[in-house]
């Protein structure tokens, strides 16, 4: 038994469909010519709040009883998940608290405040933030919304997989950027329980490949150091609930370099006029770098472009560096 099944993903989609965008799935002639793979891009960089994280956050927040909701929600992520939780809570009129690291970026703080959440600062590591969040949730009755290791969050993220299958026939493979594995566990559940013939691949940068290492070892294995430009997936170990789903449904884990990621990001901007954050371009980079097995040449492959949140000053640095 894994934490979620297809019916949870179908329920999630029903619950959140009035609020999220159904994002476009586009064919890219340019990337098809470059790679020999028929490349389709699922554009979650155009999703509300700039990433798919709104799907899981809404499914979790909308599943709360009104009593629990009125007490408020809390999370410890300063990035895309923090923005998504703030947005989801506001949709329901609930209070949200987001705990950021003391060194957190002003741009992210402004965006989270803009969605109406209260911001608190604590320490520098995610462990410090998560333990404060859990403490406050116990003391004040706030519901903690985990970034990936939660059945409602996983099922919400899986709704991306349903949309892909409805919008495209004969999908040979779907490629997913992988951090704590909430996204890939939901997407793989949707895809494999509907269409077991399609492959699902996770991709990580080589400086942050804890899921690949765990997948090969057959057991969750933590990394000591994380070093990657893909700041949405700097996770030291895959989730307790998500990893068994990865073991059951994911065909393989692929690895790319930061250089591959930044060059995919740049090409998307240059050729398709689409802005992805580095993490969002990780999936496309697996196709362009040749990490995807050759047998997919000539077949339909979907790269999930998971987010587009990058500040213009950071973008300028990435573009001038390569």
Ligand X SMILES: *Cc1c(COP(=O)(O)O)cnc(C)c1O
Q: Which residues bind ligand X (CB under 6 A)?
A: 51, 53, 80, 148, 177-184, 232-233, 277, 279-280, 306-307
Residue 72 or 180 with smaller CB distance to ligand X: 180
Catalytic residue among 53, 60, 108, 192: 53
Catalytic-labelled residue, pool 35, 111, 289, 306: 306
- DSSP code for 204: E
CB of 297 to ligand X, least distance (A): 26
Q: What is the DSSP letter of 179?
A: S
Residue 295 annotated in active site: no
Concatenated DSSP letters of 55-100: HHHHHHHHTS-HHHHHH-EEE--SSHHHHHHHHHHHHHT--EEEEE
Minimum distance from residue 230 beta carbon to ligand X (Å): 8
Q: Is the dihedral of CA 81, 82, 87, 88 positive or negative?
A: positive
The residue of the chain with the least Cβ separation from ligand X equals: 307
**Residue appearing with tokens 């580095």:** 278
The contacts of residue 137 (CB under 8 Å, 6+ apart) are 74, 143, 144
Please check whether residue 91 is in contact with residue 19, taking contact to mean a CB–CB distance below 8 angstroms. Answer: yes
Question: Please, which residue, 111 or 178, has the CB nearer to ligand X?
Answer: 178
CA dist 130 to 47, 134, 285, 318, Å?
26, 6, 31, 30
Which residue, 23 or 80, is less far from ligand X as judged by CB? 80
The distance of closest approach from Cβ of residue 51 to ligand X in the complex, given in angstroms and rounded to an integer, is 5
Instruction: Tell me how far, at minimum, the Cβ of 140 lies from ligand X, in Å.
Output: 26
**Shorter beta-carbon distance to ligand X: residue 89 or 233:** 233
> Does the annotation mark 111 as catalytic?
no
CA–CA distances in Å: residue 314 to residues 228, 229, 247: 14, 11, 35
Enzyme catalytic residues: 53, 306
């Amino acid at each position: 038994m894994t934490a979620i099944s297809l019916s949870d993903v179908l329920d999630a989609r029903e619950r959140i469909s009035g609020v999220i965008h159904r994002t476009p799935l586009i064919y890219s002639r340019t990337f098809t010519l470059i790679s020999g793979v028929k490349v389709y891009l699922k554009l979650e960089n155009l999703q509300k709040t700039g990433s798919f994280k709104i799907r899981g956050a809404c499914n979790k927040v909308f599943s709360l009883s009104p009593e629990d909701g009125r007490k408020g929600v809390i999370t410890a992520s300063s990035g895309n998940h923090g923005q998504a939780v703030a947005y989801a809570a506001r949709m329901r009129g609930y209070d949200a608290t987001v705990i950021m690291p003391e060194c957190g970026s002003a741009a992210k703080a402004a965006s989270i405040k803009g969605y109406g959440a209260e911001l608190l600062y604590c320490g520098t590591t995610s462990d410090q933030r998560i333990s404060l969040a859990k403490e406050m949730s116990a003391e004040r009755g706030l519901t903690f919304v985990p970034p990936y290791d939660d059945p409602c969050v996983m099922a919400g993220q899986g709704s991306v997989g349903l949309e892909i299958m409805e919008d495209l026939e004969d999908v040979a493979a779907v490629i997913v950027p992988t951090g704590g594995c909430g996204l890939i566990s939901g997407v793989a559940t949707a895809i494999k329980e509907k269409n077991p013939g399609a492959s699902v691949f996770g991709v990580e940068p080589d400086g942050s490949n804890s899921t690949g290492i765990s997948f090969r070892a057959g057991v969750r294995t933590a990394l000591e150091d994380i070093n990657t430009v893909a700041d949405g997936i700097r996770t030291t170990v895959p989730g307790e609930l998500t990893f068994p789903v990865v073991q059951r449904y994911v065909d393989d884990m692929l690895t790319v370099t930061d250089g591959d990621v930044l060059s995919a990001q740049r090409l998307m901007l240059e050729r398709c006029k689409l802005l992805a954050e580095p993490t969002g371009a990780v999936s496309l980079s697996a196709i362009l770098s040749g990490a995807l097995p050759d047998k997919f040449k000539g077949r339909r492959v979907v790269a999930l472009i998971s987010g587009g949140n990058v500040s213009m000053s950071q973008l300028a640095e990435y573009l001038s560096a390569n």
